[in-house]
């Protein structure tokens, strides 16, 4: 009972969504479905009458001659033409609805994903759920309405056939109804088992898709060839694909056995009903036209009853997918959306971090553990530490991308939680290690940093001069209109260092109060790195800047350095202060400096 109520509730939740997609198309589809349902019933009645007229005509007992036959043939032709026309209009309307539904669900999914907390993407189970939701939205969620319409059409037609069968004998109608139960049971079993299999196989499907795409990608081609990975990866992909195939075929063998048994039962029952009709006709209880109509009704009803059972099974499976989709849509979004205070602009006091703690789902220890510090307005801060120390996590908390488990982050005394979300985003900028390489023209690649002034060519040119990207932009085949990357026709590839400079330019293009740069110069040569940091000082003049780096030589540019270790703040101060303290920072700096000294080289060579 609870399961049935849950299905009805899910279907009820889908109706407003389907109406928003295209209410007009939905009404047209329902009207055409009803029209299509009555066409076979009318054809059956005309066929029965036409056979009777033909039999009388052949025996010379038809006093009206061909007049009645012409009328019946004309009616049947009109029905056939109407059926073809209705089918054509239905197909076009269905295609229209499908395309609008795909557009609607794609937009809905993209919008929802970008409103979820960033931490949602730190759990592998959520990737499984996201893939299932994407499949449900694109396939099952849309298909429910057409399955329901087909079932309504078949149900009306079956009822009409049942009336025809009942006119001959009530046992014939009862026999057709009895066919529904075993068919429905077999199809329901198959749909439930298939849905469980889809959930079970999602991780393997994702891994299989990942390896398959990697083998065909430009990004993976270099390492795959250098290390000779192709055969190994293909074998790994094949093992997963075969395992998925075996599970699917195993389910198919089970369902085929059940389906075969049900179909044999159906054929036997149908044969008994035909023999009963023949026996009745042999005893004078049926005319030839009535027998033809009866046989047609039996065979058609059998097919339609099977379609009804399968349709109900498809609806059951579709509602399971729809429930998955609706559950995803109802996931809680970023909780920072309740703030209504404006972002303090310009920042006058600074940013305060108090007892900041953040823990990733499933991780044994917190990534950040009780960190406290303050950043003065206009101060440039460097964050350093070993891999896994919590640097990037701290950066995301400063940007408001992660909500801390404990503690708070505030700007000029106003907690992030209380700031209007759009205002918080608009006054911050960032570049991350895994920045996006958009296959767009240069002006769009950079202009995306400030959507409101996306096409402002004068500002774009000034920004490129300041960010030191103009030097290579002018050399590109179409200058600012050059499409970057080679994924699309006419694209031009950049070096990774040039891509990173484009990403830096994008980060500096917007009007910001706080900028966070996570390894901004990781792929740049030392000369370019020095130039970038000199520009950084100019571009962030009067602004608050935080940058994460592994090259400790760059930290000389910073007003203050924060040293993280195991998620805790180990020490802070400027370069000279930390060197004098001879702690974590000094040890890391001397180790890096050794790479550039003759003494280290001699020590390494054992001289």
Q: List, for residues 497-514, the tens digit of each pLDDT value.
A: 888 889 888 988 888 889
CA distance 129 to 384: 35
Can you give the pLDDT at residue 317?
67
Can you give the pLDDT at residue 160?
72
CA distance 487 to 257: 48
Average pLDDT over residues 415-419: 89
Choose between 379 and 113: higher pLDDT. Answer: 379
For 115, other C-beta atoms within 10 Å of its C-beta total 14
DSSP secondary structure string for all residues of 305-342: HHHHHHHHHHHHHHHHHHHHHHHHHTS---GGGG--BP
To 10 degrees, what angle do helices 496-509 and 526-539 make? Answer: 0
Q: List, for residues 207-235, the tens digit of each pLDDT value.
A: 888 888 778 776 777 677 767 778 888 88
Average pLDDT over residues 457-472: 88
Can you give the pLDDT at residue 407?
92
Domain architecture of the chain: domains with CATH: 2-329 (1.20.1560.10), 334-427+512-607 (3.40.50.300), 436-510 (no CATH)
- What is the pLDDT confidence band of residue 288, given thresholds at 50, 70 and 90? low
- What is the pLDDT confidence band of residue 7, given thresholds at 50, 70 and 90? low
Average pLDDT over residues 423-435: 85
Tell me, what DSSP letter sits at residue 441?
B
Task: Name the residue among 236, 228, 293, 217 with its Cα closest to residue 41.
Answer: 293
Task: Name the residue among 345, 525, 546, 599 with its Cα closest to residue 430.
Answer: 546
Per the CB < 8 A criterion, the answer to whether 501 and 529 are in contact is no
Pairing of strands 406-411, 414-415: antiparallel
pLDDT above 90 (res 192):
no
For 172, other C-beta atoms within 10 Å of its C-beta total 24
**CA of 236: how far to CAs of 133, 204, 209, 581, in Å?**
26, 11, 12, 52
Choose between 40 and 525: higher pLDDT. Answer: 40
CA distance 228 to 240: 20
Average pLDDT over residues 465-493: 88
Tell me, what DSSP letter sits at residue 343?
P
Can you give the pLDDT at residue 570?
92
Q: List, for residues 353-373, the tens digit of each pLDDT value.
A: 999 999 888 788 899 999 999
The pTM of this model reads 0.68
Average pLDDT over residues 405-433: 88
**CA of 549: how far to CAs of 124, 518, 533, 556, 565, in Å?**
28, 7, 12, 12, 14
Average pLDDT over residues 55-61: 63
Which residue is associated with the tokens 């010379």? 60
Residue 573's beta-bridge partner residues?
561
- Residue partners of 451: CB distance under 8 A and separation at least 6: none
Mean pLDDT score across all residues of the chain? 79
Per the CB < 8 A criterion, the answer to whether 37 and 156 are in contact is yes
- Residue partners of 322: CB distance under 8 A and separation at least 6: 10, 11, 13, 14, 136, 140, 141, 144
Pure H helices in 380-456: 391-398, 421-426, 442-447
Token pair listed for 428: 């911050």
CA distance 340 to 326: 29
Which residue is associated with the tokens 């949602």? 120
Task: Name the residue among 193, 185, 362 with its Cα closest to residue 258.
Answer: 185
- Residue partners of 164: CB distance under 8 A and separation at least 6: 44, 293, 294, 297
Per the CB < 8 A criterion, the answer to whether 307 and 154 are in contact is yes
Per the CB < 8 A criterion, the answer to whether 107 and 289 are in contact is no
What is the CA 200 to chain-centroid distance, rounded? 18
Q: List, for residues 522-562, the tens digit of each pLDDT value.
A: 656 666 666 666 767 777 777 888 988 877 777 877 889 99
- What is the pLDDT confidence band of residue 307, given thresholds at 50, 70 and 90? low
pLDDT above 80 (res 379):
yes
Q: List, for residues 557-582, the tens digit of each pLDDT value.
A: 788 999 999 999 999 999 989 999 99
DSSP secondary structure string for all residues of 267-313: HHHHHHHHHHHHHHHHTTS--HHHHHHHHHHHHHHHHHHHHHHHHHH
């Amino acid at each position: 009972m609870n399961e049935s109520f849950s299905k009805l509730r899910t279907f009820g939740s889908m109706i407003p969504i389907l109406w928003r997609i295209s209410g007009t198309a939905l009404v047209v589809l329902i009207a055409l479905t009803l029209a299509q349902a009555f066409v076979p019933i009318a054809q059956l009645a005309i066929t029965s009458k036409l056979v009777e007229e033909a039999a009388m005509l052949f025996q010379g007992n038809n006093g009206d001659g061909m007049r009645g036959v012409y009328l019946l043939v004309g009616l049947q032709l009109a029905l056939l033409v109407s059926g073809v026309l209705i089918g054509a209009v239905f197909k076009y309307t269905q295609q229209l609805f499908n395309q609008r539904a795909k557009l609607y669900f794609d937009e809905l999914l993209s919008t929802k994903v970008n409103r979820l907390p960033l931490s949602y993407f730190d759990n592998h189970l959520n990737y499984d759920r996201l893939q299932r939701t994407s499949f449900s939205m694109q396939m099952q969620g849309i298909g429910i309405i057409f399955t329901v319409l087909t079932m309504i059409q078949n149900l009306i037609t079956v009822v009409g056939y049942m009336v025809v069968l009942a006119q001959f004998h009530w046992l014939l109608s009862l026999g057709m109804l009895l066919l529904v139960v075993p068919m429905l049971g077999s199809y329901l079993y198959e749909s439930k088992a298939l849905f469980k299999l889809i959930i079970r196989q999602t991780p393997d499907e994702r891994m299989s898709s990942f390896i398959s795409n990697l083998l065909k990608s430009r990004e993976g081609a270099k390492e795959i060839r250098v290390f000779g990975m192709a055969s190994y990866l293909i074998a790994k992909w094949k093992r997963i694909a075969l395992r998925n195939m075996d599970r699917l075929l195993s389910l198919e063998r089970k369902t085929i056995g059940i389906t075969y048994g049900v179909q044999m039962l159906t054929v036997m029952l149908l044969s008994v009903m035909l023999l009963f009709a023949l026996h009745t006709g042999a005893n004078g209880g049926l005319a030839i036209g009535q027998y033809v109509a009866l046989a047609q009704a039996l065979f058609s009803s059998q097919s339609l009853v099977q379609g009804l059972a399968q349709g109900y099974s498809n609806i059951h499976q579709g509602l399971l997918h729809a429930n998955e989709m609706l559950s995803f849509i109802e996931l809680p979004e970023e909780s920072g959306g309740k703030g209504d205070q404006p972002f303090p602009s310009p920042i006058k006091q600074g940013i305060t971090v108090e007892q900041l703690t953040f823990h990733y789902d499933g991780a044994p220890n917190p990534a950040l553990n009780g960190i406290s510090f303050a950043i003065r307005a206009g101060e440039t801060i460097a964050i350093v530490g070993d891999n896994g120390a919590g640097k990037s996590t701290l950066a995301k908390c400063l940007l408001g991308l992660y909500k801390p488990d404990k503690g708070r982050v505030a700007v000029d005394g106003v907690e992030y939680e209380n700031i209007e979300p759009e205002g918080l985003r608009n006054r911050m900028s960032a570049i991350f290690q895994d920045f996006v390489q958009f296959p767009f023209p240069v002006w769009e690649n950079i202009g995306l940093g400030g959507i409101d002034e996306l096409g402002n060519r004068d500002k774009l040119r000034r920004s490129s001069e300041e960010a030191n990207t103009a030097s290579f932009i002018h050399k590109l085949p179409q200058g600012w209109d050059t499409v970057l990357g080679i994924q699309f026709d006419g694209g031009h590839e950049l070096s990774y260092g040039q891509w990173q400079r484009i990403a830096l330019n994008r980060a500096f293009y917007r009007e910001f109060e706080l900028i966070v740069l996570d390894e901004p110069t990781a792929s740049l040569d030392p000369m370019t790195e020095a130039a970038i940091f000199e520009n950084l000082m100019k571009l962030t003049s009067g602004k608050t800047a935080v940058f994460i780096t592994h090259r400790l030589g760059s930290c000389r540019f910073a007003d203050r350095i924060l040293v993280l270790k195991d998620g805790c703040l180990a020490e802070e101060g400027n370069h000279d202060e930390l060197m004098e303290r001879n702690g974590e920072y000094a040890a890391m700096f001397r180790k890096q400096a050794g790479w550039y000294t003759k003494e280290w080289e001699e020590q390494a060579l054992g001289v």
